[in-house]
Amino acid sequence: MSSTHLRAGIAAVAALAGLSLAACSGGASGGANTPTAALDATHQQRSAQSASLGTYHINTSSIMVAGLSSGAFMAVQLDYAYSKTFKGSAIFAGGPYFCAEDNEDLALTQCTDDSPTIPLGTIETDFNNAAAFGYDNPTSNLNGQKSYLFSGTQDTTVYQSVVKALNTEDQHYGIATTTNFTTAAGHGWVTPDVSTACGTTASPYLINCGFDAEQTFLTLLYGTLNARNNGTLTGSLLEFNQNPFVAGGVAATYSMDSNGWLYVPAACASGTTCKLLVALHGCAQSYTDVGNAFITKSGLNEWADTNDLIVLYPQAIPTSYNPYGCWDWWGYTGSDYSATEGIQMEAIDGMVQHLI
């Protein structure tokens, strides 16, 4: 997503949704912080598919999460808040947990260009308190995890200093990080399956930087891999109904699509115990915005096909209060957005729990 998309998406929250942002990550969902433009989203969502999300044999110690930009911030939230579930992450242009501090102005400043400087001590204290009061899983679960962090030298949407702050926060909690801060990349998901130049920042935010980033981070998270399938995939790309996983049963109420996607290798469909990766798109990169570009060109399915790895692709949608379909990492769905009780957080974790 471009910096224009990121900033416009965040700024629209206060202007159009009238949110009252609180200072803590815990609290009850809904209420005054519930988006008021739910009906606006109704005509934008696609018709819900009749297919329900299936259940598979999943190794619960191998559930990881990855994302780009707003999807990267959301991936950090999921990994930190649901650390009993998620065991590692891959972050492309994302910042520290609770970086925005439930404040859209800070999301526009310290979490994009690190001005003012991200107050790591403050947000770490907030996270510690949220975990202590049960809003998040225990912080000790993060110790020993692994995370891959990528930030391009030409990324002017989320500055490198923001991602480096995440690196510091990760290490504070005992996460072993592997970083790439030297590639002349723009703002995008790095994959060998597109021809877009590495320094590009443009839709659909998929860029080729001359190496296979998926091989790098999947090897970090899962160990030695079988060769990827460069031919016709043997697994299935399935579309499923997201509505049952959202409070109230209408995903669009909280800027989520009625449908998500799931890639299932043939072996996993046949009962083999498999790994699971949740992959989160960025702003202006959902199915509504770019079709299946991220879902089919991220480079994930080719590795998944030969390595018993199921890939879950949850989907957000644009709404009047979230015009670029960003995941909520600053509070447009409520003050508990970053905690285990956050509407989108609960929905994605609910999908994971259903799959296993």
**pLDDT tens profile 179-236:** 999 999 999 999 999 999 999 999 999 999 999 999 999 999 999 999 999 999 999 9
Backbone angles phi, psi at 158, to 5 degrees: -120, 110
Q: Give the Å distances, CA to CA, from 338 to 82, 124, 138, 228.
A: 10, 13, 15, 34
Whether 323 and 22 have beta carbons less than 8 Å apart is answered as: no
Reported as type and span, the H/E element at residue 261 is strand 259-264
What DSSP state is assigned to residue 167? H
Q: What is the pLDDT of residue 51?
A: 77
Q: What is the pLDDT of residue 101?
A: 92
- The total number of structural domains in the chain stands at 1
Residues assigned a catalytic role:
69, 155, 187
What DSSP state is assigned to residue 115? S
Q: What is the pLDDT of residues 37-48, one digit of tens each?
A: 433 444 344 555
Q: What is the pLDDT of residue 48?
A: 55
Domain extent for 211: 3-355
What is the C-alpha to C-alpha distance for residues 260 and 67, in angstroms, rounded to an integer? 15
Q: What is the pLDDT of residue 9?
A: 52
What is the C-alpha to C-alpha distance for residues 76 and 95, in angstroms, rounded to an integer? 8
In sign, the C-alpha dihedral spanning 268, 269, 273, 275 is positive
The low-confidence residues of the chain, meaning pLDDT below 50, are 3-4, 7-8, 11-45
140 Cβ partners below 8 Å, 6+ apart? none
Q: Which residue has the tokens 């390595």?
A: 307
Q: What is the pLDDT of residue 114?
A: 85
Q: What is the pLDDT of residue 52?
A: 85
Q: What is the pLDDT of residue 15?
A: 38
